[in-house]
Structure 1
Amino acid sequence: MIYRQLGRSGIRVSAISLGCEGFAGKSRREAVEMMGYAVASGVNFIDLYASDPELRSTIGAALAEVRGGVQVQGHIGSVWKNGQYMRSRNVAEARAAFDDLQTRLGRETIEVGMIHYCDELEDFHALFDTGFIELATKWKQAGRIGSIGLSSHNPVVAKMAVETGLIDVLMFSVNPCYDVQPPGEEVEKLWADEVYEAHFHNFNPEREELYALCERRNVGIDVMKVFAGGDLLKADQSMFGRAMTPVQALNYALTRPAVAAVMAGCGSVAEIEAALRWCTASEEERDYSTVLAGLERCSWSGHCMYCGHCAPCPKEIRIADVNKFLNLALARGGVPETVREHYRALAHHASECIQCGACEKRCPFSVPVREKMKQAAELFGC
């Protein structure tokens, strides 16, 4: 397993982590089997957005039995009313639902208290201009939660939340289908037929800016909807007309700036095993450029996708990393100290580029790598 720091939360999490939806309807024996396999394989982080008391109890029992030190991301504002899940901004309801979560899990501290599902501007103000955010900050101060998160599908609202300085972790939907699309308040439009038939060119700038902002602010991203609801895995349903493998989709998300983990929604040991194949997959198996390059409807021409096809460099420059740090600096309009430090920590720098052009011949996205290396060397001074 590969572990990563979850931003400034203070915890290290497995790159492949678990969503909770796959445990729905499972018996406790089945849940223990799934959880036990995941933990034995190195998984140490689970997202628990569900408010269903039975599901919470099932997961609580599984966590207690496997005793693997799994860290929990529990949602604030996900409540159970009249026998069904609801999202609530009522402080009393949110408090009662979180009380229930901690009781059923048998935990005094939840590592990440995730403010549940905010996509709309009006809802953002309902959270941050009222006592709701104060509830989360008080719980953090008291040690009831380790850090504060927010889940969203809208990069504009997510960016506003990160800019408050109160959010340590962002749960966001990251996949290439969504990354080309403009922001919106209606999440269903992300997979609407008319959107999938549209033509797009390069990353949506709001999404790219969000990832760069999180990297600069040290806000860790954990990923939901990595497979775009399964659409990415089927050629006839994907907007690209080509199918990604689970490993390719996972690798795409895990190579975005600030992303620490993917919360994979697995409903069986076999599905957990399939997600975990990313950890041991070869570079060829992880390569998502074969799906994304050369498309008519969607093009990333000239934009570094961090796919790694530029390697090997005769001077051993990690070109994808240099481009990532360059893009982070350009998005900021300057060089943040954290980006400068990460760049300088590289074993080889852009100034060592001999302008041979071998990388450009291999790049499937027609990135002017030699020019990028000149730009990085000038910007970073080495």
Structure 2
Amino acid sequence: MEYRILGRTGIKVSAIGIGREGFEKKSYDECEAIIDCAINEGINFIDIYNSNPKVRSNVGKALSNYPRSSFVIEGHLGSTWDKGQYRRTRDLNEVVSAYEDFLTRMKLDYVDVGMIHYVDDQKDFDNIFNGEIIKYAKKLKEKGIIKSIGISTHNTDIAFRAVETGMVDVILFSINAAYDMLPASEDVNILFEKNTFKDRTYEGIDPKRDKLYQTCENAGVALTVMKGYAAGVLLNEKESPFEKALTPVQCLHYCLTRPAVASVMVGVDNMNQILVATEYVTASNKEKDYSEVIANVPRSSFSGHCMYCGHCAPCSKKIDIALVNKYLDLSLIQENVPETLKNHYDLLEHHASECIECGACMKNCPFGVDIINKMKQAVKLFGN
């Protein structure tokens, strides 16, 4: 398994995580089998938004078979159980009661990420961050009951505001190759409508979403990913906006090559879906490669935008071109180059100044990026 650091929290998490509704309507034995399979595959990161008492008890019991230090939990504040159904709540008494129930049934002394659940509009955000819920989250953090504060959202503007608070360490955000091509919108419901992707011209990653990922990376705010397969749309040739299906491995690689992304929380319903996802770890670069699918789709123009796919390799001077471009893009959105980014760049074995302008990389790039000019920009910005 590949492990990454969860932004400024310092917590080490598996690049593949699990979550979503997969534990619903399962017996304890079935939940235990899923947990055992995940942990045997090296997965240590689990997102639990579920308010269903049976799910919480089953998952908690299964996880209690393992040392607490061996797994990381994203547990949601604001998810409650009401008359046999899940309900999102902003009533503080319900939030507190539901979270105490979560801790008890999950057999947890602490939660690694206390995730404020499902915040998609501005009024809701304001009520939370100007009210009692954020105070409760901060109180839990002060007591060590949660180690960091997170927020789950599908809305790019809300994610930006979360970063700006300085209080949010982790954002659970919907990321995939289809959503990234759509203009950021207050109406997040369009993300879930399949006809959204029909007869649309795609022009690369939406600039606002692109800037969000870079902003999070620079701020040390980790992104964990939901909807990595676009609810299955990307796995179906007839439904995919690219008119060709991506494999689960390609979907995961797309997400994991975005700035700030630490882990993709894959919705799993059975052990086979875990095994399909963890094939990512042993997949070849060719099997991971998504660029051919999205670069050649009809009605699209991704020209000039580096997707960090690595097709520019090999470089005759052994420059890691994709990583240089990534550090460059992260720096260009700011007035001054952050010292941390400069340090990361300096630690590269080979730098943009070593470019001999042979052009081999540009011939390989499926997106027509002017790589030679990008290397010149990097030299000007970083000094070598």
Query: How is 1:217-256 mapped onto 2 (pairs within 5 angstroms)?
Result: 217-256=219-258
Query: How is 1:259-338 mapped onto 2 (pairs within 5 angstroms)?
Result: 259-338=261-340
1:39-97 C-alpha deviation (Å, 9 max, x unpaired):
11111110001111111111111111344721111000111112211111111111111
1:41 aligns to what?
41
Rounded to whole Å, the distance in 2 between the matches of 1:46 and 1:153 is: 19
1:148 aligns to what?
149
Rounded to whole Å, the distance in 1 between the matches of 2:329 and 2:161 is: 21
Task: Verify the 8 A CA contact 2:45 2:71 in the aligned structure 1.
Answer: yes
1:118-147 C-alpha deviation (Å, 9 max, x unpaired):
111111111111121111111111101000
Query: How is 1:110-121 mapped onto 2 (pairs within 5 angstroms)?
Result: 110-121=111-122
1:168 aligns to what?
169
2:81 aligns to what?
80
- Identity among equivalent pairs (%): 49
2:206 aligns to what?
204
Query: How is 1:62-141 mapped onto 2 (pairs within 5 angstroms)?
Result: 62-67=62-67, 69-141=70-142
Rounded to whole Å, the distance in 1 between the matches of 2:154 and 2:212 is: 11
Query: How is 1:173-184 mapped onto 2 (pairs within 5 angstroms)?
Result: 173-184=174-185
1:313-334 C-alpha deviation (Å, 9 max, x unpaired):
1111000000001111112233
Does residue 361 of structure 1 match 2:366? Answer: no
Whichever residue aligns with residue 336 of structure 1, its letter is P
Secondary structure, counterpart of 1:18 in structure 2: strand
2:17 aligns to what?
17
Secondary structure, counterpart of 1:55 in structure 2: helix
Rounded to whole Å, the distance in 2 between the matches of 1:92 and 1:360 is: 59
* Greater shift in the superposed pair: 310-319 or 20-29: 20-29
Whichever residue aligns with residue 77 of structure 2, its letter is I
Rounded to whole Å, the distance in 2 between the matches of 1:30 and 1:280 is: 26
1:348 aligns to what?
350
Task: Verify the 8 A CA contact 1:311 1:319 in the aligned structure 2.
Answer: yes
Following TM superposition, by how much is the alpha carbon of 1:226 offset from its aligned partner in structure 2, in angstroms?
Answer: 0.1
Rounded to whole Å, the distance in 2 between the matches of 1:93 and 1:370 is: 57
Structure 2: gaps (5+ residues): none
Whichever residue aligns with residue 249 of structure 2, its letter is V
Whichever residue aligns with residue 267 of structure 2, its letter is G
Secondary structure, counterpart of 2:255 in structure 1: helix
* Greater shift in the superposed pair: 290-299 or 249-258: 290-299
* Greater shift in the superposed pair: 182-191 or 324-333: 182-191
Following TM superposition, by how much is the alpha carbon of 1:200 offset from its aligned partner in structure 2, in angstroms?
Answer: 2.4
Task: Verify the 8 A CA contact 2:194 2:239 in the aligned structure 1.
Answer: no
Task: Verify the 8 A CA contact 1:32 1:65 in the aligned structure 2.
Answer: no
Instruction: With the length of structure 2 as denominator, give the TM-score of the two structures.
Output: 0.97
Task: Verify the 8 A CA contact 1:350 1:376 in the aligned structure 2.
Answer: yes
Task: Verify the 8 A CA contact 1:173 1:223 in the aligned structure 2.
Answer: yes
1:169-222 C-alpha deviation (Å, 9 max, x unpaired):
111011011111122233320132442122221211111111011001101111
Rounded to whole Å, the distance in 2 between the matches of 1:24 and 1:242 is: 31
Task: Verify the 8 A CA contact 2:45 2:73 in the aligned structure 1.
Answer: yes
Rounded to whole Å, the distance in 2 between the matches of 1:193 and 1:264 is: 20
Structure 1 runs of 4+ with >4 Å offset = none
Rounded to whole Å, the distance in 2 between the matches of 1:336 and 1:91 is: 39
1:92-127 C-alpha deviation (Å, 9 max, x unpaired):
111111000000011110110000011111111111
Rounded to whole Å, the distance in 2 between the matches of 1:205 and 1:8 is: 24
Following TM superposition, by how much is the alpha carbon of 1:303 offset from its aligned partner in structure 2, in angstroms?
Answer: 0.3
The verdict on how the C-alpha distance between 1:141 and 1:131 changes in structure 2, with shifts beyond 3 A counting, is: same
Whichever residue aligns with residue 182 of structure 1, its letter is P
Count of matched residue pairs:
382
The verdict on how the C-alpha distance between 1:25 and 1:194 changes in structure 2, with shifts beyond 3 A counting, is: closer
Rounded to whole Å, the distance in 1 between the matches of 2:300 and 2:67 is: 46
* Greater shift in the superposed pair: 276-285 or 55-64: 55-64
2:60 aligns to what?
60
Rounded to whole Å, the distance in 2 between the matches of 1:138 and 1:298 is: 48
Task: Verify the 8 A CA contact 2:61 2:107 in the aligned structure 1.
Answer: no
Whichever residue aligns with residue 280 of structure 2, its letter is W
1:233-259 C-alpha deviation (Å, 9 max, x unpaired):
011011111100000000000000000
Following TM superposition, by how much is the alpha carbon of 1:31 offset from its aligned partner in structure 2, in angstroms?
Answer: 1.4
Whichever residue aligns with residue 239 of structure 1, its letter is P
Secondary structure, counterpart of 1:229 in structure 2: coil
* Greater shift in the superposed pair: 23-32 or 312-321: 23-32
Whichever residue aligns with residue 151 of structure 2, its letter is L
